[in-house]
Amino acid sequence: MIAEAQTLDMILAILGMSLATYLTRAAGLAVMSRLTLSGRAERFMKAIPGAILASIIAPQALAAGPAEAVATLVTGVCAWRFRNLPLAMAAGVAAVLALRLALR
Amino acid sequence: MNAQQSSTGGLLPFTWRGLAAGFRACVPVAIGVAVYGVLFGLLARQKGLPLWAAQSMSLGIYAGASQLIVLDLWGPDLPVVSLIVTTLIVNLRHVLMGAALSPWLTRITPQRAFGSLFFMTDESWAVSLGRWAEERRRGVVSDGAFLIGAGLCEYLFWNGSTLIGHFLVRGLDDPSKYGLDFAFTAVFTALLVGLKPKRADILPIICAGIAALVGARVLPGKWYILAGALAGGLAAALSPAPGRAER
C-alpha cells in the first residue's frame, strides 16, 4: 500500500511539474498574441532578449573569478570576429580551461 | 523598406529544411547540455528515483535546472505541491522568453507555435532568437520550424543522456574539470554579441547584468535571470524614446 501511494504521488508530481513548465513556456506567446504594444511597453519587450542573455552571462562572467572573466572576453571577441557559434564556444571552453590551470 | 514589410506581415514558411537547420545549429550546444543530462540521471538514481520517474521528468518537464533543483526536495514523503510550485517559479523566465519570440511565433499557425514552445529551453531559445533576429536584420524570410528543430535536438540529447546517467555505475567527473561548465556562458556570450546591440541597447544590458549579479547573490534558483530581464526591460521602457532617425 505504501509503495503504491508513493508511486501515485510520483506520477501526480511529475504530471504537475510537466504542466507547470509547459504553462510558463506557452504563457508569453498567449499573452503577446492578444496585445499590440506601443511606446514604453514595446521598448520593454524589445530589450528583453539582450537583457536575458546579459543576465545569464553576468554572474559567471563577472563574479566567478578572473579565468571566467577573461574567457568571456575571449569568447566575445571570437564571436564578433568570426561569427561562428561552435568556434566561439570551443574558444571559450579552451580559454577557461587554460586560464584555470594557469591561475591556480 | 521591403525588408520591413516582409518582417511584419504574412505567414512564415514552416519546412523540414528549417527544422533540420535548427537541429544542426543546436548540436554543439546540445552536447554541453548532455553532460548535465548524465548528471541528472545519476543524481536521480542516487536519490532513489526509478528509471521511469527520472525519464518521465526529462520527457515531460524537460527543463534541466528545475529538474536538478527538485531532486533536492525529493524524499520518501513526496511534497507534491512544493515540487510543482518550485518548478513553476524556477521556470517563470520562460514567460518572457516566449514573449520575445512572439514576433515570429504569431506568424505560424497556433498549433505549430504552441507545439514548438513545448521544446523551448534557454539554449534553443537563444540559438533560434539569434538566427531569426539576424535574418530580420538582413531582410531574409525566416523559417518558423527552426525553433522546434533546435528544441528537438536538445530534447534528444537531454533524454538520451538522462537514460545513460541513470545506468552509469560510477560517478561522473566534475564537468568544470574540463571547462564544460563554461560552455553555456560561452554560447550565451556569442549569441549576445550576435544580436549586435545598438547604442540604445547598452544601458538596458548593463542594468540587466547588474540586477542579475545582485540577484544571483540574494535570490534562489534561476530567479536572477528574471530579475535581470525585468531590470533591463524597465531601463529600456523608462529611457526616452529613440529619435525617428534611429528607428
Question: Which string of DSSP letters, residue by residue, matches B204-237?
Answer: HHHHHHHHHHHHHHHS-TTHHHHHHHHHHHHHHH
Neighbours of A98 (CB within 10 A): 15
Identity of the residue in B80, B92, B228 whose CB atom sits nearest the CB atom of A58: B228
CB contacts of A94 in chain B (<8 Å) are: 179
**Higher-pLDDT residue of A24, B38:** A24
Identity of the residue in B53, B92, B204 whose CB atom sits nearest the CB atom of A47: B204
Please give the residue of chain B at the shortest CA–CA distance from A19.
Answer: B61
Q: What is the ipTM of this complex?
A: 0.87
Does residue A92 contact residue A74 with C-beta atoms inside 8 Å? yes
Q: Give per-10-residue mean pLDDT for chain B (247 aa).
A: 48 96 95 88 88 97 90 86 90 94 96 98 95 95 97 98 85 74 89 90 96 93 90 94 55
Q: How far is A99 from chain B (nearest CA, A)?
A: 10
CB contacts of B188 in chain A (<8 Å) are: 53, 56-57
pTM to 2 decimal places:
0.85
Q: How far is B16 from chain A (nearest CA, A)?
A: 22
* pLDDT for res B5: 40
Average pLDDT over residues A92-103: 93
Q: Which cell is B13 given?
A: 514558411
- pLDDT band of A36, cuts 50, 70, 90: confident
* pLDDT for res A32: 93
* pLDDT for res A38: 83
* pLDDT for res A35: 86
Identity of the residue in A21, A48, A88 whose CB atom sits nearest the CB atom of B66: A21
Q: How far apart are CA B64 and CA B50, in angstroms?
A: 18
Q: How far apart are CA B193 and CA A44, in angstroms?
A: 20
